[in-house]
Amino acid sequence: MKWIDSHAHLDDRAFEADRATVIARCSEAEMGVLAIGSSLRSSREAVRLASRYRNIWATVGIHPHHAKFVDEAALIELKELAQDDLVVGIGEIGLDYYRDLSPRDRQRSALRQQLNLAIELNLPVCLHNRESTDDLLAILKETGKRHCGVVHSFLGDGTLADEFLDMGFHLGIGGPLTFPGNEVLRVAVKRTPLDRILLETDCPYLTPVPYRGRRNEPVYVKYVAEEIAKLKGLALQDVAKQTTKNAIRLFGLSD
């Protein structure tokens, strides 16, 4: 494997017509992909894709948008799914106070329950955070347990980057790094050690320049890597190599 897209919503409707072709392009590029669950349905689908394709692994979890559907039965099914050998993490979980599609108290309890599941099963987490940093940090710190995983689509400044890095997290960096308005993020990424960065697309969303505005897909992760290489004065292949190594190590992937 030369590349890993650590965050792809391959189950998304946007891939309905040509999912197999999109995945074939990943294989051609020697790219591994983490298919990310965001609901029970999409978690089941991520596991199904992982069982079908050699270069795909799955994470299972319930996104904060769907937190109001997290109940005991959902947690039982999630735990069952998470024990599949092809499941390498719990996510996407977290908080989203920007869209507030689930009540905030339900978001917080769903996050706590899924963080506990990750600890119980010894799996890394994939965190979503939008305008909810204070509560997210407080919840991560409250158990005193050490979580591991990735802050997906990190968009903060250097101070926040340091805070997550000090807690042991990796930063998931995607298309927004290539957007003209994101100078603060570029400064933060420039000073983040490369061995703590994961490449991601969050496809079909957050398409990097030069395809911004169109549907995103895993192979476009190269444009993110190009931007990181430019910022750090490195060769593109060194960025690919190290970030692939990081994802293999964090999620325990076997090639």
Residues of the shown chain interacting with Ni ion in the complex, contacts defined by CB under 5 A: 92, 202
In the bound complex, what is the minimum distance in angstroms from residue 91's beta carbon to Ni ion? Answer: 8
Residue nearer to Ni ion on the CB measure, 5 or 202: 202
**Tokens 């805070």 identify what position?**
163
Residue nearer to Ni ion on the CB measure, 155 or 187: 155
In the bound complex, what is the minimum distance in angstroms from residue 8's beta carbon to Ni ion? Answer: 8
In 114-182, beta strands by DSSP E: 125-130, 149-151, 170-173
Local structure of residue 3 (DSSP, 8 states): E
Name the residue number minimizing CB distance to Ni ion.
202
In the bound complex, what is the minimum distance in angstroms from residue 199's beta carbon to Ni ion? Answer: 14
In the bound complex, what is the minimum distance in angstroms from residue 72's beta carbon to Ni ion? Answer: 25
Residue nearer to Ni ion on the CB measure, 44 or 235: 44
Contacts of 87 (CB under 8 A, 6+ apart): 47, 50, 57, 58, 59, 60, 81, 123
Contacts of 165 (CB under 8 A, 6+ apart): 171, 192, 193, 196
Residue nearer to Ni ion on the CB measure, 34 or 162: 34
Which run of H or of E encompasses 27? Answer: helix 19-28
In the bound complex, what is the minimum distance in angstroms from residue 9's beta carbon to Ni ion? Answer: 6
In the bound complex, what is the minimum distance in angstroms from residue 205's beta carbon to Ni ion? Answer: 7
Residue nearer to Ni ion on the CB measure, 94 or 237: 94
Q: How is 51-110 classified by DSSP, letter by letter?
A: HH-TTEEEEE---GGGGGG--HHHHHHHHHHHTSTTEEEEEEEEEETTT--S-HHHHHHH
Residue nearer to Ni ion on the CB measure, 69 or 205: 205
Q: Which residues are bridge partners to 242 per DSSP?
A: none
- Cβ pair 37, 93 in contact under 8 A: no
Which run of H or of E encompasses 157? Answer: none
